[in-house]
Structures are given as structure tokens and as C-alpha cells.
Homo-oligomer: A and B are copies of this chain.
Amino acid sequence: MTTAEPILIDVKPALDIVPGMKANLILTSGPGLPWNEYVGGQREGIIGGALYEELASSHEDAVAKLDAGEIEVGACQDFGCVGSLAGIYTSSMPVFVVENAKGGSRAFCNMYEGKSRKRLNYGTYDETVRNQLKLIEQVVAPVIGEAVRSAGGIPLKPIMIRALNMGDELHSRNTAASLLFARELFPQFLKLYAKLGANLEKTLEILTEDHYFFLRLSMAAAKATADYAHGVEGSSLVTAMAFSCKEFGIRVSGLDDWIRGPHAAVQAKLFEGHDASEITWMGGESPITETIGLGGFAQAGAPTLQAYQGGSYEEMMKRNVSLYGITFGENPDYKIAALGYRGTPTGIDVFQVLQTKVLPVMDIGIAGSGGGQIGAGIVSAPIECFQEAAHRYSEKYG
């Protein structure tokens, strides 16, 4: 897991690059479910995806075609993708293509929709959301794709290592990483400006306007990294954590299939005008970052998150340190200066979680039942997944 070297090599429409992607297929977050089990914002997100892709002429028509199986639904991670919140992928959507220079399979992530609280990945679809997605598809993705190819690929690990020294934990805060990524592209931007003009200016703006642009690169890098550690005979290390509207799931390196459990517990800080009754689950696979020792496992490096997701820096430090009790090792590359340059706790071990009762924590955005982001917070993975994993492990390995 710690030896992977994720490199961004391209940006392409999902249909052209994601193995198994089809024109009538919509991907979404979490361990896969039959279409009729997706509810709330995640169901709305899938329908929104169908409309965005013009697979249906109306909400009603989309539901009918999904019911009939004419429009299909798949689980992101079965396709090498990793979904933010609802994690809707359609065939025309551009994805970051990340390759592990050490081997293993490619990983993909689609792109940040912009700082509006209403986004398809938060279960909302309307004209505004459509325009944002079109801007990404037609302006931002082609510009970044051209710059990345012109640069011959962008190694992501060096950016992530530096960003951890600049206040990011690479899940809920990616401010420095986004800026460092823009810096890497800028020499190409200079060369491409005569050709791309205003599209390039717009892309530059979107790249650095918010705390989230780089998250999708962090997720794709984490997916390529975690997948490299998957399938090791006898290993009890977690290689993915993700949830759908219905359940939380983990993958374990030495075991097959998702191990499913109830929803995670959440401690949220909500934006003004919202209350806890609105908090809803509509999927999320960004905890792939925690799986490789980032996000909640690197909170001590991101003191500003207290303002965004609540809690004091002291609590964040303590929580971060407690996670060394459930990980196999310390990351040789991702280090936290505030912890004396200690490597982040990396490689969640199923049995250590059960022994210590310390649960993996994840920094996440909070979705509201009315659609859109209503806050941010910290969630703890459910113990049931780890109990079930231990059970399956002993069944398989004795």
C-alpha cells in the first residue's frame, strides 16, 4: 500500500477509458445494490445522471427506463472508479486517469463540480447543476487533459506529501494540493494559452477557487494505492471503506466481496439554517483517502478543519494519534509535522479495530435530505463490518 506511485496520466470521457463503461450505464457509490433499493438523494442522483446523459426525456421516463433495465446502474468500485458522495458517473463525464507506476490497475475519478452547494454528487439535478457539469465537460476537463498530456503526466504523491505540510489532510481540505497541482500545470498553461485562451483562464479559476478541487485526484490516487494492496492472501488490512444510502461497507485485502454493515455514526457541523434532522446518507467513497492514511488519519496536519467540521485542534490531534492503535504501520511518505514528522497511521487492521474498539474516522461532507451539502463532519465506521470481516476471515483462513 505504501509503495504505490500514483501518476495522473490523462483526463478522458468515462466511456473512452473506464473498462466496462457503457452508454446506458450509470455508476454510483457504495457496495452495489439493485436499482430499486437506491432511495432519497442517491436515487435522485442516478435519475439526474440519466437526464444529464439524455438517456431519458423526463424524471418519469428515467424511472421507467431504470425500472425496465434499459438504463443500468453499477457500483463505482467495480469499474475502478471511486465516487464522491452519491458518486454519479455517466458515460460522457470526464474522469481523471491515474496509473500506479509500480503496477496494478488504473483508477478513475470524475471531477469536482464547483463550489455551489447544489451538485449532482449531492443528489440534486437542475439547470444550474447541468450547466456546471457541462462547464467541467466542455471547458475544464479538455484544458486539464491537454496540459497533463503535454506535461507527460503529473506524479501525485509529491504533491500530496507537500500538501500535508501545508495544512491539507487531502479529504475535506485540499487547498494547498489544488494550488500545487495548478503550479505543476502552469508551465503547460503558458504554452497552451494562445490556443485555449478564455477556457484556460476559466479553468485556472476553478482549479484554485475552493478547498475541494484536488480531492478527486486524492481519491483516484488513493484508489490506485489501495487496490495495489488488495488481494493479498491472508491479509486483514482494509482496502476500501464506502457507503450507499442503505449501508456502510468495507473491503479487506485477503477477503472477497464487500463486507456490509449499518450506517456510520456522525458528528457534524452544519451550515447556518440547517439542523440534524436533515442529515441524510446518499453514498460516499471518499473514505478511500482514510484507507491509505489520509483524511481523518492525517487530521493533525489540517488544523483549519475545526472551523469547517467542528471540534478543537486538540481533539483532532488526540483522535489522529489514537488511530495508530488500529493501523499496521506508519506511512513512510505521508508525514505530519505537528506530530514530529511521524508518518500517518496507515493500513487499518480488522483485528486491531476489534481489540481496541477504536473505529476508523473519516472527514466527510454532509448531505441534506433536500439535496445539496448542508455541512461537514466526522464519521466513525460501524464495528459490525469489522466483526463480520473477522468472522469471514476465520471461515476462510481458520
Binding site for B on A (CB under 8 A): 165-167, 175-176, 179-180, 182-183, 186-187, 189-190, 193-194, 200-201, 204, 208, 303-304, 306-307, 312-313, 337-341
Contact = CB atoms under 8 A, between A and B. Distances in A.
B201 A190 contact: yes
Contacts of A201: 187, 190
Contacts of A176: 166-167, 176, 179
B166 A306 contact: no
Contacts of A187: 201, 204
A179 B321 CA distance: 30
Nearest to A190: B193
Nearest to A196: B190
A180 B175 CA distance: 11
Contacts of A175: 165-166
A196 to B, nearest CB: 10
Given A179-B183, A182-B183, A183-B208, 5 more contacts: A166-B167, A176-B176, A179-B179, A183-B183, A306-B341
B340 A312 contact: yes
A175 B180 CA distance: 11
A201 B183 CA distance: 12
A308 to B, nearest CB: 10
A162 to B, nearest CB: 8
Given A186-B186, A204-B186, A306 B337 contact: yes
4 closest A-B pairs by beta carbon, nearest first, are A303-B337, A303-B338, A304-B337, A166-B167
Contacts of A193: 190, 193
A182 to B, nearest CB: 7
A328 to B, nearest CB: 25
Nearest to A192: B190
Contacts of A204: 186-187, 190
A165 B179 CA distance: 14
Contacts of A179: 176, 179-180, 183
Contact of A190 (B165, B190, B304): B190
Contacts of A167: 165-167, 176, 337
Nearest to A304: B337
A179 B175 CA distance: 11
Contacts of A165: 167, 175, 304
A176 B164 CA distance: 12
A49 to B, nearest CB: 33
9 contacts: A165-B175, A167-B176, A176-B176, A183-B208, A186-B186, A186-B204, A187-B204, A189-B190, A304-B337
A370 B15 CA distance: 63
A306 B190 contact: no
A148 B347 CA distance: 47
A204 B183 CA distance: 9
Contact of A313 (B180, B182, B312, B340): B340
A307 B337 contact: yes
A12 to B, nearest CB: 25
Contacts of A186: 182, 186, 189, 204
A54 to B, nearest CB: 35
A304 to B, nearest CB: 4
Nearest to A204: B186
A306 to B, nearest CB: 7
A378 to B, nearest CB: 17
A305 to B, nearest CB: 8
Contacts of A307: 337, 341
A336 to B, nearest CB: 8
A173 B172 CA distance: 24
Contacts of A182: 183, 186
A312 B340 CA distance: 7
